[in-house]
Amino acid sequence: MEVVICADAQQQGRLAGEVVARLVGSRPDAVLGLATGSSPRPVYADLLARVRAGALDLGGVSTFSLDEYVGLPEGHPAGYRTEIREQLTDPAGIPVERVHTPPGDAEDLPAAAADYERRMERAGGVDVQLLGLGTDGHIAFNEPGSSLASRTRVKTLMRRTREDNARFFGGDVDAVPTHCLTQGLGTILQARHVVLLATGEHKARAAAELVEGAVSARWPATVLQWHPHVSVLLDEAAASRL
Ligand code: GLP
């Protein structure tokens, strides 16, 4: 695991953007694992700036998102599919049929979860996986207590996570769905390179556990210690408890 302490979120965005740009430069049909939330936004801004400057062509990539809320209708502004299309894939010209998100509105969620895993496998697996970090140490929506070998499945969201994410639902925690469809920790471990970004004091405990704690389902991100190629990009505040 390499840990890089960055001056700010912009520098994180540039570094992670460089990783993706290099990969796509050598493999135009690379498979990108995308995360939502605020942490990856500077990465998407960096990638779009490269695309607009003519320095990067993302038109050949496929993307797989980590997670989605259960029960939000297609096109809901806080839905992760909407977010990823707005933040990156539509403006970057990635054809929508190659933009995959777990279908949180499916009638048969276990079948949809198994199908999502198969789609990832057929695409050849994820080359680089971007990740944020929950304040309770979750990655994707793998809340504390998640099996370290878990695959894509339905999870119940912790109250804390729903409170953290209420800002995307007009500040109303009751409007935040109670369940999600999320890649498992075992799924995430199969990505060939994982790039995790975290900023701010509120992430410091989770970041310290991730880098220095014992591997445990109590802090799901610690499972990344088992992965052979992880880059952790922190700002000073998020690194303050290392
Ligand atoms: C949500 C997402 C995670 C994300 C986390 C942190 O719970 N499901 O994938 O990493 O929030 O979000 P933020 O980057 O906004 O702090």
| pLDDT at residue 11, as a whole number | 98
Q: What is the CATH number of the domain that holds 37?
A: 3.40.50.1360
Distance 66 CA to ligand 1 centre (A): 10
Domain count across the chain: 1
Whether residue 158 is contained in a domain is answered as yes
What digits encode the pLDDT tens for the residues 68-97? 999 999 899 999 999 999 999 999 999 999
Q: Is the sign of the CA dihedral 163, 168, 172, 177 positive or negative?
A: negative
Mean residue pLDDT of the chain comes to: 97
> What domain range includes position 189?
2-235
Please identify every residue annotated as catalytic. Answer: 67, 136, 138, 143
Whether residue 87 is contained in a domain is answered as yes
The residue-averaged pLDDT of 216-223 equals: 98
Distance 69 CA to ligand 1 centre (A): 12
Token pair listed for 212:
């220095």
What digits encode the pLDDT tens for the residues 4-46? 999 999 999 999 999 999 999 999 999 999 999 999 999 999 9
| Whether the model pTM is above 0.90 | yes
**Residues contacting 214, CB < 8 A, separation 6+:** 222
Q: How far apart are alpha carbons 81 and 97 in whole angstroms?
A: 12
| pLDDT at residue 140, as a whole number | 98
Q: How confident is the model at residue 124 (pLDDT cuts 50, 70, 90)?
A: very high
Distance 54 CA to ligand 1 centre (A): 30
Whether residue 152 is contained in a domain is answered as yes
| pLDDT at residue 59, as a whole number | 98
Whether residue 32 is contained in a domain is answered as yes
Among 139, 140, 80, which residue's Cα sits nearest to residue 105? 80
Whether residue 95 is contained in a domain is answered as yes
Whether residue 106 is contained in a domain is answered as yes
What digits encode the pLDDT tens for the residues 96-119? 999 999 999 999 999 999 999 999
- For ligand 1, what atom is nearest to the CA of residue 80? 8
The residue-averaged pLDDT of 216-231 equals: 98
Whether residue 214 is contained in a domain is answered as yes
104 ligand 1 Cβ < 6 A: no
Whether residue 240 is contained in a domain is answered as no
